[in-house]
Amino acid sequence: MEVLSIKDGNVRNYYLNKCIMDNLTVRSLREEIKSNSYERLINKPKNIELIILKKEYTILEDMKNPIIIKIDKNKMINNEKDLELTILSEITFVLTQLGRGFAFIGNQYKINNYYIDILLFNIELNCYVVVELKIRKLKVEDKAQVEMYMKLVDENIKKATQNKTMGIIISKEQDKFVVSFIKSDTLIPLTYELINK
């Protein structure tokens, strides 16, 4: 309402952009207008375009289904360590399959007396991502285990400027591996396909 009375489109766009960029309250906007913030600019742009905010990135934007892990055709996955080594041998490819902004932090990452199978960080989401590996069907307690790891990361290594940790569980369903993302109380199942190189 405050900016509607401003007839000059350039000036109006300046104040609208200030609201968007600086998250101004109505009171702060009124103070900006009253103090002639635009008029006091040393270099006034000739044509001020309205800023269009980029929508917040969500993991679902780049998620692939199925997600593919390449495995050597001569290699058998008999236990979680085999699966971990397979993922680590193709870590760059696996990270691109998960989506944008994933970075590898470490494997068998120790926090207190617990070991996280794989710890990642997502730059786009500004959060750690805990990965738990299972070579069996997903059980209810698996989600609780990953949530405990997420809490450990939040309490011990997450910085105040970072978002809450997410979790991923990779479990085996028949002849496929299923990736489930955990964010808060949500579980998003996806299928992983193991393909031979």
* Digit-coded pLDDT (tens) for 114-163: 999 999 999 888 999 999 999 888 888 888 899 999 999 999 999 999 99
Distances 124 to 7, 108, 140 between C-alpha atoms, Å: 39, 24, 29
Model pLDDT, residue 195: 46
Model pLDDT, residue 67: 63
Beta strands in 85-173 (DSSP E): 102-111, 114-122, 127-133, 166-173
Model pLDDT, residue 64: 59
Model pLDDT, residue 196: 45
pTM exceeds 0.95 for this model: no
Before 66, cis peptide (omega within 30)?
A: yes
- What is the rounded CA–CA span in Å between residue 118 and residue 105? 8
Residues contacting residue 142 through CB under 8 Å, at least 6 positions apart: 132, 134, 169, 171
Please work out, in degrees rounded to the nearest 5, the angle formed at the alpha carbon of residue 35 by the alpha carbons of 34 and 41.
130
- What is the rounded CA–CA span in Å between residue 109 and residue 111? 7
- What is the rounded CA–CA span in Å between residue 193 and residue 197? 12
Model pLDDT, residue 60: 55
* 86-93 long-range contacts, CB within 8 A, separation 24+: 87/118, 87/133, 87/170, 88/118, 93/69
Is 119 exposed, middle or buried, given 0-12, 13-18 or 19+ CB atoms closer than 10 A? buried
Model pLDDT, residue 115: 96
Task: Name beta bridge partners: 190.
Answer: 179
Task: Name beta bridge partners: 191.
Answer: 178
Q: Is the dihedral of CA 149, 155, 159, 162 positive or negative?
A: positive
Model pLDDT, residue 25: 80
pLDDT under 50: residue ranges of the chain? 190-197
Task: Name beta bridge partners: 173.
Answer: 176
Q: Which residues of 40-59 are buried (b: 16+ CB within 10 A; e: fewer)?
A: eeeeeeeebeeeeeeeebeb
